[in-house]
Structure 1
Protein backbone atom coordinates (compact mmCIF):
# COMPACT_ATOMS: atom_id res chain seq x y z
CA UNK A 1 0.00 0.00 0.00
CA UNK A 2 1.54 3.31 -1.02
CA UNK A 3 1.73 6.40 1.16
CA UNK A 4 -0.62 8.08 -1.32
CA UNK A 5 -3.23 5.37 -0.68
CA UNK A 6 -2.93 5.91 3.08
CA UNK A 7 -3.16 9.69 2.66
CA UNK A 8 -6.33 9.31 0.55
CA UNK A 9 -7.79 6.85 3.06
CA UNK A 10 -7.15 9.10 6.07
CA UNK A 11 -8.49 12.13 4.24
CA UNK A 12 -11.68 10.29 3.30
CA UNK A 13 -12.18 8.69 6.73
CA UNK A 14 -11.74 11.96 8.63
CA UNK A 15 -13.39 14.13 5.93
CA UNK A 16 -10.39 16.47 5.82
CA UNK A 17 -10.51 19.34 3.32
CA UNK A 18 -7.30 20.22 1.47
CA UNK A 19 -6.80 23.37 3.57
CA UNK A 20 -6.94 21.32 6.77
CA UNK A 21 -4.38 18.90 5.35
CA UNK A 22 -2.06 21.81 4.50
CA UNK A 23 -2.41 23.00 8.11
CA UNK A 24 -1.58 19.51 9.42
CA UNK A 25 1.55 19.42 7.25
CA UNK A 26 2.57 22.87 8.53
CA UNK A 27 2.22 21.76 12.17
CA UNK A 28 4.99 19.25 11.53
CA UNK A 29 7.17 21.95 9.98
CA UNK A 30 6.53 21.04 6.35
CA UNK A 31 5.17 23.57 3.91
CA UNK A 32 3.04 21.83 1.31
CA UNK A 33 0.96 23.84 -1.15
CA UNK A 34 -2.65 22.83 -1.75
CA UNK A 35 -1.81 22.10 -5.41
CA UNK A 36 0.81 19.57 -4.31
CA UNK A 37 -1.65 18.01 -1.84
CA UNK A 38 -4.13 17.60 -4.69
CA UNK A 39 -1.39 15.89 -6.74
CA UNK A 40 -0.53 13.62 -3.79
CA UNK A 41 -4.18 12.57 -3.57
CA UNK A 42 -4.42 11.61 -7.25
CA UNK A 43 -4.23 7.98 -8.32
CA UNK A 44 -1.09 6.74 -10.08
CA UNK A 45 -2.71 6.65 -13.50
CA UNK A 46 -4.00 10.23 -13.25
CA UNK A 47 -2.10 13.11 -14.81
CA UNK A 48 -0.14 15.17 -12.29
CA UNK A 49 0.30 12.31 -9.78
CA UNK A 50 3.15 12.85 -7.30
CA UNK A 51 4.43 10.00 -5.11
CA UNK A 52 4.36 10.76 -1.38
CA UNK A 53 7.80 10.14 0.17
CA UNK A 54 8.07 8.52 3.61
CA UNK A 55 9.37 11.72 5.23
CA UNK A 56 6.33 13.68 4.03
CA UNK A 57 3.93 10.95 5.17
CA UNK A 58 5.56 10.78 8.58
CA UNK A 59 5.31 14.56 8.87
CA UNK A 60 1.61 14.40 8.04
CA UNK A 61 0.98 11.70 10.66
CA UNK A 62 2.99 13.59 13.30
CA UNK A 63 1.07 16.77 12.46
CA UNK A 64 -2.19 14.84 12.74
CA UNK A 65 -1.22 13.72 16.24
CA UNK A 66 -0.47 17.29 17.31
CA UNK A 67 -3.59 18.73 15.65
CA UNK A 68 -5.86 16.13 17.29
CA UNK A 69 -4.23 15.89 20.72
CA UNK A 70 -2.34 19.17 21.08
CA UNK A 71 1.33 19.74 21.83
CA UNK A 72 2.82 18.25 24.95
CA UNK A 73 3.62 20.93 27.50
CA UNK A 74 7.32 21.57 27.94
CA UNK A 75 8.36 19.20 25.19
CA UNK A 76 9.53 20.30 21.75
CA UNK A 77 8.02 18.70 18.66
CA UNK A 78 9.91 15.44 18.16
CA UNK A 79 12.19 15.40 15.14
CA UNK A 80 11.26 13.04 12.32
CA UNK A 81 12.58 9.51 12.66
CA UNK A 82 15.77 8.58 10.88
CA UNK A 83 15.34 8.48 7.15
CA UNK A 84 14.16 5.00 6.38
CA UNK A 85 11.16 3.12 5.23
CA UNK A 86 7.94 4.04 7.03
CA UNK A 87 6.34 0.70 7.85
CA UNK A 88 2.64 -0.06 7.94
CA UNK A 89 3.09 -0.78 11.66
CA UNK A 90 4.38 2.77 12.24
CA UNK A 91 1.49 4.23 10.23
CA UNK A 92 -1.03 2.18 12.23
CA UNK A 93 0.58 3.22 15.51
CA UNK A 94 0.57 6.93 14.63
CA UNK A 95 -3.08 6.77 13.55
CA UNK A 96 -3.95 5.01 16.81
CA UNK A 97 -2.21 7.74 18.81
CA UNK A 98 -3.70 10.61 16.78
CA UNK A 99 -7.25 9.32 17.10
CA UNK A 100 -6.79 8.21 20.73
CA UNK A 101 -7.95 4.70 19.96
CA UNK A 102 -7.85 2.04 22.66
CA UNK A 103 -7.63 -1.69 22.03
CA UNK A 104 -11.43 -2.09 22.12
CA UNK A 105 -11.82 0.75 19.61
CA UNK A 106 -9.36 -0.92 17.24
CA UNK A 107 -11.13 -4.27 17.58
CA UNK A 108 -14.48 -2.58 16.87
CA UNK A 109 -13.07 -0.79 13.81
CA UNK A 110 -11.75 -4.06 12.41
CA UNK A 111 -15.10 -5.71 13.15
CA UNK A 112 -16.90 -2.90 11.26
CA UNK A 113 -14.61 -3.42 8.28
CA UNK A 114 -15.74 -7.04 8.12
CA UNK A 115 -12.32 -8.40 9.12
CA UNK A 116 -12.34 -9.12 12.86
CA UNK A 117 -9.04 -9.78 14.61
CA UNK A 118 -8.19 -11.17 18.04
CA UNK A 119 -6.53 -9.23 20.84
CA UNK A 120 -3.23 -11.15 20.52
CA UNK A 121 -3.11 -10.50 16.76
CA UNK A 122 -3.71 -6.81 17.37
CA UNK A 123 -1.13 -6.46 20.15
CA UNK A 124 1.48 -8.21 17.97
CA UNK A 125 1.21 -5.34 15.46
CA UNK A 126 2.23 -2.78 18.09
CA UNK A 127 5.23 -4.65 19.48
CA UNK A 128 8.83 -3.65 18.81
CA UNK A 129 10.27 -5.04 15.58
CA UNK A 130 12.70 -7.45 17.30
CA UNK A 131 10.16 -8.91 19.74
CA UNK A 132 9.40 -12.63 19.34
CA UNK A 133 5.65 -11.95 18.98
CA UNK A 134 6.03 -9.01 16.59
CA UNK A 135 3.86 -9.24 13.49
CA UNK A 136 4.32 -7.12 10.39
CA UNK A 137 1.22 -5.16 9.40
CA UNK A 138 0.29 -6.17 5.89
CA UNK A 139 -1.18 -3.92 3.22
CA UNK A 140 -4.53 -5.71 3.41
CA UNK A 141 -4.78 -5.18 7.18
CA UNK A 142 -4.02 -1.47 6.83
CA UNK A 143 -6.52 -1.17 3.96
CA UNK A 144 -9.20 -2.86 6.08
CA UNK A 145 -8.35 -0.62 9.03
CA UNK A 146 -8.79 2.51 6.89
CA UNK A 147 -12.08 1.09 5.58
CA UNK A 148 -13.31 0.50 9.15
CA UNK A 149 -12.11 3.96 10.15
CA UNK A 150 -14.13 5.50 7.32
CA UNK A 151 -17.21 3.54 8.34
CA UNK A 152 -16.82 4.63 11.96
CA UNK A 153 -16.02 8.32 11.47
CA UNK A 154 -18.06 9.13 8.38
CA UNK A 155 -21.09 7.16 9.54
CA UNK A 156 -21.13 9.00 12.87
CA UNK A 157 -20.97 12.39 11.14
CA UNK A 158 -23.71 11.60 8.61
CA UNK A 159 -27.32 12.39 9.49
CA UNK A 160 -29.50 9.33 10.03
CA UNK A 161 -31.91 8.46 7.23
CA UNK A 162 -35.49 7.74 8.10
Structure 2
Protein backbone atom coordinates (compact mmCIF):
# COMPACT_ATOMS: atom_id res chain seq x y z
CA UNK A 1 0.00 0.00 0.00
CA UNK A 2 1.28 3.44 -0.86
CA UNK A 3 0.90 6.48 1.36
CA UNK A 4 -1.55 7.82 -1.23
CA UNK A 5 -3.72 4.70 -0.80
CA UNK A 6 -3.61 5.12 2.96
CA UNK A 7 -4.60 8.80 2.71
CA UNK A 8 -7.52 8.00 0.36
CA UNK A 9 -8.77 5.19 2.61
CA UNK A 10 -8.56 7.28 5.81
CA UNK A 11 -10.31 10.19 4.13
CA UNK A 12 -13.09 7.89 2.91
CA UNK A 13 -13.47 5.97 6.19
CA UNK A 14 -13.70 9.12 8.29
CA UNK A 15 -15.68 11.09 5.65
CA UNK A 16 -13.20 13.98 5.67
CA UNK A 17 -13.94 16.79 3.20
CA UNK A 18 -11.13 18.29 1.08
CA UNK A 19 -10.91 21.59 2.97
CA UNK A 20 -10.93 19.77 6.30
CA UNK A 21 -8.16 17.43 5.12
CA UNK A 22 -6.04 20.40 4.01
CA UNK A 23 -6.51 21.98 7.44
CA UNK A 24 -5.42 18.70 9.09
CA UNK A 25 -2.18 18.87 7.10
CA UNK A 26 -1.73 22.43 8.40
CA UNK A 27 -2.30 21.35 12.01
CA UNK A 28 0.43 18.75 11.46
CA UNK A 29 2.86 21.45 10.21
CA UNK A 30 2.64 20.39 6.57
CA UNK A 31 1.83 23.17 4.13
CA UNK A 32 -0.31 21.98 1.25
CA UNK A 33 -2.74 23.68 -1.10
CA UNK A 34 -5.86 22.29 -2.79
CA UNK A 35 -4.09 21.39 -6.06
CA UNK A 36 -1.35 19.54 -4.17
CA UNK A 37 -3.95 17.71 -2.10
CA UNK A 38 -5.91 16.64 -5.18
CA UNK A 39 -2.63 15.38 -6.71
CA UNK A 40 -2.16 13.19 -3.60
CA UNK A 41 -5.66 11.76 -4.07
CA UNK A 42 -5.15 11.06 -7.77
CA UNK A 43 -4.50 7.53 -9.01
CA UNK A 44 -0.98 6.65 -10.16
CA UNK A 45 -2.01 6.59 -13.80
CA UNK A 46 -3.40 10.17 -13.65
CA UNK A 47 -1.25 12.94 -15.10
CA UNK A 48 -1.51 15.13 -11.98
CA UNK A 49 -0.57 12.30 -9.55
CA UNK A 50 2.01 13.14 -6.91
CA UNK A 51 3.46 10.65 -4.45
CA UNK A 52 2.58 11.27 -0.78
CA UNK A 53 5.72 11.38 1.34
CA UNK A 54 6.06 9.85 4.80
CA UNK A 55 6.29 13.38 6.25
CA UNK A 56 3.02 14.35 4.59
CA UNK A 57 1.01 11.32 5.74
CA UNK A 58 2.43 11.55 9.27
CA UNK A 59 1.73 15.30 9.34
CA UNK A 60 -1.86 14.62 8.25
CA UNK A 61 -2.26 12.07 11.06
CA UNK A 62 -0.65 14.44 13.59
CA UNK A 63 -3.25 17.02 12.53
CA UNK A 64 -6.01 14.45 13.02
CA UNK A 65 -4.71 13.73 16.52
CA UNK A 66 -4.62 17.45 17.37
CA UNK A 67 -8.13 17.99 15.99
CA UNK A 68 -9.63 15.04 17.85
CA UNK A 69 -7.67 15.12 21.10
CA UNK A 70 -6.20 18.60 21.38
CA UNK A 71 -2.58 19.52 22.04
CA UNK A 72 -0.50 17.32 24.28
CA UNK A 73 0.31 18.59 27.77
CA UNK A 74 4.01 19.08 28.41
CA UNK A 75 6.71 18.38 25.87
CA UNK A 76 5.74 17.39 22.34
CA UNK A 77 5.78 13.71 21.54
CA UNK A 78 9.29 12.53 20.70
CA UNK A 79 9.99 11.22 17.22
CA UNK A 80 11.01 7.57 17.16
CA UNK A 81 14.78 7.14 17.21
CA UNK A 82 14.76 3.97 15.15
CA UNK A 83 13.23 3.97 11.74
CA UNK A 84 9.89 2.25 12.17
CA UNK A 85 7.89 1.02 9.17
CA UNK A 86 5.38 3.61 7.99
CA UNK A 87 2.46 1.19 8.40
CA UNK A 88 3.20 0.84 12.13
CA UNK A 89 3.42 4.60 12.54
CA UNK A 90 0.13 5.13 10.66
CA UNK A 91 -1.59 2.42 12.70
CA UNK A 92 -0.37 3.85 16.01
CA UNK A 93 -1.38 7.41 15.11
CA UNK A 94 -4.86 6.29 14.05
CA UNK A 95 -5.25 4.39 17.30
CA UNK A 96 -4.36 7.55 19.24
CA UNK A 97 -6.44 9.93 17.08
CA UNK A 98 -9.56 7.76 17.31
CA UNK A 99 -8.93 6.75 20.94
CA UNK A 100 -9.21 3.06 20.11
CA UNK A 101 -8.64 0.30 22.65
CA UNK A 102 -7.39 -3.14 21.67
CA UNK A 103 -10.94 -4.54 21.77
CA UNK A 104 -12.15 -1.76 19.44
CA UNK A 105 -9.40 -2.58 16.94
CA UNK A 106 -10.17 -6.31 17.11
CA UNK A 107 -13.84 -5.50 16.44
CA UNK A 108 -12.90 -3.36 13.41
CA UNK A 109 -10.73 -6.13 12.02
CA UNK A 110 -13.53 -8.66 12.57
CA UNK A 111 -15.90 -6.40 10.63
CA UNK A 112 -13.51 -6.68 7.70
CA UNK A 113 -13.44 -10.46 8.11
CA UNK A 114 -9.86 -10.45 9.40
CA UNK A 115 -9.53 -12.35 12.66
CA UNK A 116 -6.47 -11.78 14.85
CA UNK A 117 -5.72 -12.47 18.49
CA UNK A 118 -4.83 -9.81 21.01
CA UNK A 119 -1.14 -10.86 21.31
CA UNK A 120 -0.73 -10.42 17.55
CA UNK A 121 -2.22 -6.94 17.86
CA UNK A 122 -0.08 -5.83 20.80
CA UNK A 123 3.08 -6.90 18.97
CA UNK A 124 2.40 -4.12 16.44
CA UNK A 125 2.52 -1.48 19.17
CA UNK A 126 5.85 -2.51 20.64
CA UNK A 127 9.05 -0.60 19.97
CA UNK A 128 11.29 -1.79 17.15
CA UNK A 129 13.98 -3.98 18.64
CA UNK A 130 11.67 -5.53 21.24
CA UNK A 131 11.74 -9.31 20.95
CA UNK A 132 7.97 -9.45 20.31
CA UNK A 133 7.84 -6.48 17.91
CA UNK A 134 6.14 -7.13 14.58
CA UNK A 135 5.92 -4.92 11.50
CA UNK A 136 2.41 -4.01 10.38
CA UNK A 137 1.89 -5.46 6.92
CA UNK A 138 -0.15 -3.96 4.12
CA UNK A 139 -2.87 -6.60 4.49
CA UNK A 140 -3.30 -5.85 8.19
CA UNK A 141 -3.50 -2.07 7.67
CA UNK A 142 -5.81 -2.49 4.65
CA UNK A 143 -8.22 -4.65 6.69
CA UNK A 144 -8.12 -2.23 9.62
CA UNK A 145 -9.01 0.68 7.33
CA UNK A 146 -11.73 -1.40 5.66
CA UNK A 147 -13.23 -2.23 9.07
CA UNK A 148 -13.07 1.43 10.02
CA UNK A 149 -14.91 2.39 6.83
CA UNK A 150 -17.53 -0.30 7.42
CA UNK A 151 -18.10 0.90 10.96
CA UNK A 152 -18.15 4.63 10.23
CA UNK A 153 -19.85 4.69 6.83
CA UNK A 154 -22.07 1.60 6.87
CA UNK A 155 -23.18 1.60 10.50
CA UNK A 156 -21.04 -1.34 11.56
CA UNK A 157 -22.55 -3.75 9.06
CA UNK A 158 -20.48 -5.76 6.68
CA UNK A 159 -20.73 -4.47 3.13
CA UNK A 160 -22.70 -6.65 0.75
CA UNK A 161 -20.60 -9.08 -1.25
CA UNK A 162 -20.61 -9.26 -5.04
CA UNK A 163 -22.95 -12.27 -4.96
CA UNK A 164 -25.68 -10.56 -2.92
Q: Same fold (TM over 0.5)?
A: yes
Distance 1:85 1:123 in 2: 15
Unaligned runs of 5+ in 2: 157-164
Is 1:24 equivalent to 2:42 in the alignment? Answer: no
What is the CA-CA distance between 1:154 and the residue it aligns to? 1.0
> CA separation of 1:16/1:83 partners in 2, compared to 1, >3 Å: closer, same or farther?
farther
Q: 1:44 to 1:84 in 2, by over 3 A?
A: farther
Which residue does the alignment assign to 1:41? 41
Runs of 4 or more, structure 1, over 3 Å off, are 75-86
Does 1:110 pair with 2:118?
Answer: no
1:144 equivalent in structure 2: 143
> 1:5 & 1:89 partners in 2: Cα distance?
15
Relative to the length of structure 2, the TM-score reads 0.88
Q: How much has 1:43 moved relative to structure 2?
A: 1.0
SS at match of 1:89: helix
Cα deviation digits, residues 55-103 of structure 1 (max 9, x gap): 1111111111101111124x36547667967521111000000000001
Question: What pairs with 1:82-97 in structure 2 (closer than 5 Å)?
Answer: 86-97=85-96
8 Å contact from structure 1 (residues 26, 63) kept in 2: yes
Aligned length: 156
Q: Does 1:131 pair with 2:130?
A: yes
DSSP-derived class of the 2:9 partner: helix
The answer (yes or no) to whether the contact 1:89–1:126 under 8 Å persists in 2 is yes
Distance in 2, matches of 1:121 and 1:82, equals 23
Q: Check conservation: 2:85, 2:136, Cα contact below 8 A.
A: no
RMSD: 2.0
Q: Where does structure 1 lack aligned partners over 5 or more consecutive residues?
A: 158-162
SS in 2 for 1:156: coil
